[in-house]
A and B are shown apart, each in its own frame.
Chain A
Amino acid sequence: MRKRSVKMVGATREGDASQDGRAIVTRQLRKEFDDLVAVDDLDLTIGKGTLYGMIGPNGSGKTTTIKMLVGLLKPSSGTAEVLGERIPLKGRISDIGYMPQEMAIYTDLTVSENLQLFGSIYSMGQERLLERQEELLSMVDLSDRGDSLASQLSGGMKHRVSLACAMMHDPEVLFLDEPTVGVDPELRMGFWHHFDDLKARGRTVVITTHYMDEAVRCDIVGMMRQGKLIAEGSPRDLMDRSSTSNLEDAFMAFSKGVAE
């Protein structure tokens, strides 16, 4: 695990983020829906090669933040950069991958056709595409289901296909919104091994999750509540600061303002 101090992660500096090892920088990022503030002046800095976990209850602004970063929602105010480019991305859009919370795969296509669609969108060559397809299908344990229509798969399987689609072009930054929902524990372990691999190859992975116990596997965990980052740091650090033994309790402590 890469060692980095909490302070440095939270810091915001001027300059091109791509030059200084920062994959994502948001400053005063805000999103309002009518009179609801979904994301409240968020300052976030995520270093390259980080496995970053966003945790927090429903409605805490995790998904909205990600949607702004991938260009699906326009911020009400504030700015954000991904790989040094201001959102919405244009030049670097090929370097991000996104797995939305809803499964968002084409259920009227087969599993392989879904992967091929995303591969060809990124102009992957046929050979590379098939190679990658095989690799990912085995990672999500669907090697024998390549020719099945996605509509015939179980919910968990669809989720796995969705994850594979997001990873097809091996992006530098991967946004995964609840990737482990409906995935059985054994396979979930496999996923996390894979995320570690990605990190080892210098990829940045941003994951939102409900499962606090999984978040322990992240390098840095950002705890969100009501559109704000209430605490951020390595899991160990967060537990120490809140004198708790797990992230769930730590989250409760930070929510109540007990810690810090």
Chain B
Amino acid sequence: MKLKRVTAVARKTLRSLKHDRRTAGFLVLMPLFMIAIFGYTFGGELKDISVYVVNLDEGTVNGSASASMIDELQSRDVLRTLEPSWPDGYAQSVDSVVDNVRNGDAWAVIVFPQNFSSNVESAIDGPADYLSSIQGILWIYIDASNPNIASAIITEVQTTVQRVLLTQYDIASPVLISQDMVYGEDAEFIDFFAPGVMGLAAMMVTFMLSIISFVHERSTGTLDRLLTTPLTEGEIVAGYAVALGVVGLIQSLVILSTAILLFQVQIVGSALLVLLVVFLLGVGNQGLGFLLSSIAKNEFQAVQFMPLILFPSILLAGVFWPLEAVPDLLRPVSNFIPLTYAVEGCRSIMIRGWGLGEVWPEVTVLVCFAAAMLLLSTYGLRRRR
């Protein structure tokens, strides 16, 4: 293998990208777009969820538990509390307020019944036989069609109740959960998925560029032509790997800097190690694209491979959901997707601050993946002759 010939192929590949301004722009802007979209969508915590609060509580001489809870809810910004307008007749009006949920104007209706405060008090002061006393009951009519929102509302209400019980009635839960973050202090959701998006973008682009370029090389006859020169199959594959690896690196740099500047994503570990992981992933996927290009007869057929490769990767490689959320049946598939290891590796480096000493298993898998793909594509090309 001659380095000069490898660089000739790599330079040619990068040069053609340079001439194709739109593609070059796409390569830089696509990851930027991805991280920005994902960052803004998932990065923000849930906020301003519309809920109606119906307070029928009449309070007691000691005050009103419901009023304190409503104040507490309003002091936080997850829920936006709306006051229902008051028609006549209580029973009828609760139902008419719930209509706001039914027609989609609000996500929930929280109802404090008439004797809420007095029931709360009597439950607190009541006999030790806790269950026999009447508890204060708080009703929530909820649109659970969006599980994230539903669980946010419930968590919010529970937190509020606990706070008010603590501050107003001096009642604390007998169990206190003390959290000590080993890793990921101040980590937000975006810190979790930024490494995933980075791997995903690098993988998508290297795979796509590789399969399209090679199908093009095959169909236009340029590949044949290269094979009649002293270039060896290995040199062609290596040249492409270098070029597309570089493209993957540039993309990762774009994503990393955007994530840091725009979303304050933390990189506890070494950014260089992150780039190495992405480079290996890019080289491997380049090889995969190359292999599949020999099955595709034209660009259109090549495009058909993309969802086949991309969907499992997006869904099963732990980009947006942890691997633990992948059903047992599909777990083995996750273990076969190289992106899984790249994402896991990047995440450990960026959030946990791990070094090569800790992420070597992921790096090893990626090195093997890249090496296997390069060898197979070289072999595949050689068989053609």
Contacts from A to B (Cβ < 8 Å): 70-72, 74, 88, 93-94, 96, 98, 100, 102-110, 113, 117-118, 120-123, 149, 165
The answer for the CA separation of A71 and B224 in the assembled complex, in Å, is: 9
Q: Which residue of A lies closest to B384 (CB)?
A: A72
| Docked CA distance A105–B224 (Å) | 11
Q: Does B167 contact A (CB under 8 A)?
A: no
Other than the given A104-B224, A123-B5, A149-B19, 14 more pairs (CB < 8 A) read A71-B227, A71-B228, A72-B385, A88-B385, A98-B228, A102-B220, A102-B221, A107-B220, A117-B11, A118-B229, A120-B11, A121-B5, A121-B9, A121-B231
Contact between chains at B229 and A113 (CB < 8 Å): no
Indicate if the CB atoms of B16 and A109 lie closer than 8 Å: yes
Cβ of A235 to closest chain B Cβ, rounded Å: 29
CA gap between A106 and B19 in the complex, in Å: 12
Which of B12, B16, B226, B228 is close to A96, meaning CB atoms less than 8 Å apart? B228
Residues of A within 8 A of B174 (CB): none
Interface 1/0 per residue, B162-177 and A, CB below 8 Å: 0000000000000000
A122 touches B230 (CB 8 A): yes
Smallest CB gap from B23: residue in A: A108
Chain A residues near B228: list those with CB within 8 A: 70-72, 93, 96, 98
Flag if A71 contacts B385 (CB, 8 Å): yes
Q: How far is the CA of A9 from the CA of B191 in the complex (A)?
A: 75
> In the complex, what residues of A have CB within 8 A of residue B19's CB?
108-110, 149
> A122 — which chain B residues lie within 8 A by C-beta?
229-230
B47 proximity list for chain A (CB < 8 A): none
Closest A residue to B236 by CB, please name it: A121
- Nearest Cβ distance between residue A66 and chain B, in whole angstroms? 10
A74 to B222, Cβ gap below 8 A?
no
Question: Of A74, A98, A118, which one neighbours B385 at CB under 8 angstroms?
Answer: A74
Q: For the complex, what is the distance from the CA of A155 to the CA of B240, rounded to whole Å?
A: 28
Chain B contacts with A in 1-41, Cβ cutoff 8 A: 2, 4-5, 7-9, 11-12, 15-16, 19-20
Q: Which residues of A contact B16 (CB under 8 A)?
A: 106, 108-109
B8 surroundings in chain A (CB, below 8 A):
117, 120-121
Specify which chain B residues have a CB less than 8 angstroms from the CB of A110 in the assembled complex: 19
Residues in B whose Cβ lies below 8 Å from that of A71? 227-228, 385
Write the nearest CB–CB distance from A113 to chain B, whole angstroms. Answer: 6
Q: Chain A CB within 10 Å — which of B9, B20, B224 has the most?
A: B224
Is B224 a contact of A100 with CB atoms below 8 Å?
Answer: yes
A94→B230 CA distance, assembly (Å): 6
Complexed CA–CA distance, A46 and B225 (Å): 23
Determine the chain A residues whose CB is within 8 A of the CB of B2 once the complex forms: 123
B220 with A113: CB separation less than 8 A:
no
Instruction: Give Cα A72 to B225, complex, Å.
Output: 9
Per a CB cutoff under 8 Å, which of B4, B220, B231 touches A103?
Answer: B220
CA distance A104 to B230 in the complex (A): 17
The 6 closest A-B pairs by CB, nearest first: A104-B221, A108-B16, A120-B8, A102-B221, A98-B228, A70-B228
Complex: chain B residue closest to A69, CB-CB: B228
Residues of B within 8 A of A98 (CB): 225, 228
Max chain A Cβ within 10 angstroms of own Cβ: one of B12, B231, B385: B12
Q: Pick from A93, A117, A121 the residue with the most CB of B within 10 Å.
A: A121
CB of B214, distance to nearest CB on chain A (Å): 13
Q: How far is the CA of A110 from the CA of B16 in the complex (A)?
A: 9
B225 touches A93 (CB 8 A): no
Q: Bound state CA distance, A108 and B15, in angstroms?
A: 8
Chain B 36-52 interface 0/1 with A at a Cβ cutoff of 8 Å (1 = within)? 00000000000000000
Chain A residues with CB under 8 Å of B385's CB are 71-72, 74, 88
- A100-B5 in contact given A71-B227, A71-B385, A93-B230 (Cβ < 8 Å): no
Within 8 A of A (CB), among B226-244: 226-231
The complex places the Cα of A54 from the Cα of B349 at a distance, in Å, of 64
Q: Is the beta-carbon distance between A72 and B15 smaller than 8 angstroms?
A: no
**Contact (Cβ within 8 A) B227 A72:** yes
In the bound complex, how far is the Cα of B195 from the Cα of A180, in angstroms? 55
Q: Is the CB of B5 within 8 A of A120?
A: yes
Of the A-B pairs whose beta carbons lie under 8 Å apart in the complex, a sample of 13, sorted by A's number, is A72-B224, A72-B385, A93-B229, A100-B225, A103-B221, A105-B222, A109-B15, A117-B12, A118-B229, A121-B230, A122-B229, A149-B19, A165-B225
CA distance A96 to B231 in the complex (A): 13
A109 and B5 in contact, given A93-B230, A100-B221 (Cβ under 8 angstroms): no
A100 to B16 Cα, complex, angstroms:
21
